[in-house]
Amino acid sequence: MSKNLTSRAEDYSKWYNELVVKADLAENSAVRGCMVIKPYGYAIWEKMQAELDRMFKETGHQNAYFPLFVPKSLFEAEEKNAEGFAKECAVVTHYRLQNDPDNEGKLRVDPEAKLEEELIVRPTSEAIIWNTYRGWIQSYRDLPILINQWANVVRWEMRTRLFLRTAEFLWQEGHTAHATKAEALVEAEQMNNVYAEFAENFMAIPVIQGVKTESERFAGAVETYCIEALMQDGKALQAGTSHFLGQNFAKAFDVKFTNNEGKLDYVWATSWGVSTRLMGALIMTHSDDKGLVLPPNLAPSQVVIVPIYKNDEQFDAITEKAEGIIKDLKDLGVSCKFDKRTTHRPGAKFAQHELQGVPLRIAIGPKDIENNTIELARRDTLTKEIVQMGGLAHTIKDLLEVIQDELYNKALNYRDEHITKVDDFETFKKVLENKTGFISAHWDGTSESEQKIKELTKATIRCIPLDNELEEGVCVYSGEPSTQRVLFAKAY
C-alpha cells in the first residue's frame, strides 16, 4: 500500500480512482470496462442491497429473476426503448467454439454455430419482462404485479470508470403492472420517494427529487422521476430513477386485460432502478484526502479496536478488555472488529482503517489498562479523545448516530450552498466555471434551448424539481417566457 492519496484539490478524478483501488473496493479486470468488486466494496454494496430490499418488500414488492438474454425480436418491439439502447448492446451471435485449424492451440468461433436469432445481453429488462407479463395478465384481478429483480446488466460504454460507469454493472430493477394510469403514477412516485429516503437516511446523501426533461428521459418512458445528488467537485450525479412507462410496453408486447367494467384495456407500467453507481455517490459525497468516510449505516465494521502493546502480558489484558467491549457493542447491534494482526504496527493499522473509512476507532494500550480508559477516534472529524470505560457501548452507539446525522448535514450544507439562482447567461457560465454546483434558472421548455446550453456550457438540465414553486420569468438562454426554474449542472 503506497503512502499518500492524491488530494482532491490536486486532481479530483485521480483522487477518486486511487481511493477506490487503495481502499480495496474494486479494481479493473481483464475485461475491458468491467470491474472486479472486491470483498470490502461488495460488503458495502450488500448493506445497500439489504436495506433497499427491505424497503421494497415493505412497499409490497417481491423478488423474481428473468433471463440475461433478450431475443432481438423482443428487444426491438418497443421502438424508442430499442433505439435508445441499440448503440451500446452486447450481442450473442454464436453458441459454440472449436479448435482453430489454422492456429494450433487456439479456439475460434464455429462458423456453423450461428444462432437463428441473435440474443441481446440485457441493457435493461423491460422487453423480456413485458413479454413474460403478457402470459400472466388477463384480468384486473391479476393486477397489480409488483416485482423487483437483482441483476447484472451490460451497456457497452465507450469510456468507463470504476463504479460510476462500467460496461457491466449490478443493480435492481423493479417492473410493475397496473390497471390504471393513476395507480402506476403513484407507484413511480412512491419508488422515487423510497430512493430519496434511502439516499438521505441510510447513505447520508441529500438528494433533489424531480422529473427529467424529454431529452433526458428514459427511452420508452412517459415520465422519468429521479433523485439527483451533488458531488464534492460540484458535479451532479443521477443516483436513481423511477419511470412511469404509460402503456408503451403494454402496447409493444400486447399486454391487455379486462377491467372491472368488462372492457379490454392495455396495462399501465412502471420501472425503477438503482445501481452500483451508488458506490460512486457514496465515495464522492463523504470521503476526504485521507480516504473513504463511511456513514455508520453502511460500514461493514462500525468500530475497530487496535491494540497497542509491548509484550504478551499486555496483549492478553488488552484482548480481555476488547472482547468485553465487542460483546457489549454486539448487544446494542453495533458491529466491531478487533484488529489483532501481529504483522502490522499500530500506525499502519490507523492509516489503513482511515483509508477504509471505519467510522470509529478504539485504541487500547498499557496506559488505558491502568486508567480504565480507551482512546476513541472519529473518522469523519479526525478527532480523538480519552473515554472512560463506564457506559462505553452506549456512548459509542449514540456517537454513531451523531456521525450519521452530521455527515448528512455536512453534505446538505455543501449542496444547499451550491444551488445558485441565476438570471442571465453570462452569470450562468461564470457560476458553472468558478463556483460549480447546481444552477437554478428559468428555461423556456424547448429541447432546442436545452441542447444549445449543453453545447455552450456542457451543463444539462438535471431535473425539474418536484417541489418547484411556479414563478414568472424568462429563459436564461433564449429570453422566452418561462413559468418555473429548473436545475442545471455538469453531470457524471
What residues make contact with RNA under the rule CB under 7 A?
A: 1-5, 13, 28, 32, 87-88, 155, 157-160, 164-167, 169, 216, 218, 238, 241, 275-277, 290, 308-310, 342, 345-348, 350-352, 354-355, 363-369, 375, 377, 382, 384, 492
Give the nearest distance from C-beta 394 to RNA in angstroms: 21
CB of 302 to RNA, least distance (A): 17
CA geometry: angle 87, 93, 98, nearest 5 deg: 140
Query: In terms of CB distance, is 144 or 307 closer to RNA?
Result: 307
Comparing CB distances to RNA, the nearer of 232 and 356 is: 356
**Whole-angstrom distance, CA of residue 136 vs CA of residue 130:** 10
**CB closer to RNA, 252 vs 376:** 376
Q: Measured from the CB of residue 111, what is the shortest distance to RNA in angstroms?
A: 20
Do residues 462 and 210 lie in contact, with contact meaning Cβ atoms separated by under 8 Å? yes
CA separation, residue 268 to residues 193, 245, 247, 301, 397 (Å): 20, 7, 5, 43, 45
Min. distance of Cβ 307 from RNA in angstroms? 8
Nearest to 219 by CA among 150, 127, 91, 119: 127
In the complex with RNA, the residue whose CB is nearer, 4 or 447, is 4
Residue 119 Cβ vs RNA, minimum distance, rounded to whole Å: 20
- CA-wise closest residue to 175 among 87, 107, 81: 81
| 253/350 with CB nearer RNA | 350
Core vs surface per residue 439-469: b (16+ CB within 10 A) or e: bbbbbbbeeebbeebeeebebbbbbbbeebe
Of 479, 486, 368, residue with least CA distance to 424:
479
Residue 18 CA: distances (Å) to CA of 61, 185, 274, 330: 38, 42, 24, 33
Q: Tell me whether residue 19 or residue 441 sits nearer to RNA (CB atom).
A: 19
Nearer to RNA, 160 or 297 (CB): 160
Closest contact distance (angstroms) between CB of 141 and RNA is 35
- Cβ closer to RNA: 17 or 59? 17
> Cα 404 from chain centroid?
18
CB 353, min distance to RNA, A: 8
Closer residue to RNA (CB): 301 or 482:
301
Minimum gap (Å) between residue 375 Cβ and RNA: 3
CB atoms within 10 A of CB 356: 20
CB 247 within 8 A of CB 241: no
Minimum CB distance to RNA smaller for 60 or for 347? 347
For RNA, the closer CB: 149 or 258: 149
- Closest approach of Cβ 474 to RNA, in Å? 27
Minimal distance, residue 291 CB to RNA, in Å: 8
Nine-digit cell at 407? Answer: 455527515
In the complex, what is the shortest distance from the CB of residue 281 to RNA, in angstroms, rounded to a whole number? 9
